[in-house]
Amino acid sequence: KCCDFASVNIVFQDNEVPDIKNAPADVTVSCYDNIPAMPTLNYTDNCLGAGTVTGEQVDNYTDCAGGTITRIWTVEDGCGNIA
The string of pLDDT tens digits covering residues 23-77 is 999 999 999 899 999 999 999 999 899 999 999 999 999 988 999 999 999 999 9
Q: What is the Cα–Cα distance from 38 to 71, expressed in whole angstroms?
A: 8
Q: What is the Cα–Cα distance from 78 to 81, expressed in whole angstroms?
A: 7
Q: What is the pTM of this model?
A: 0.78
**pLDDT grade for 2, boundaries at 50, 70 and 90:** low
The per-residue pLDDT for 8 is: 80
The per-residue pLDDT for 69 is: 95
Task: Determine contact, residues 50/31, Cβ cutoff 8 Å.
Answer: no
pLDDT over threshold 80, residue 6? no
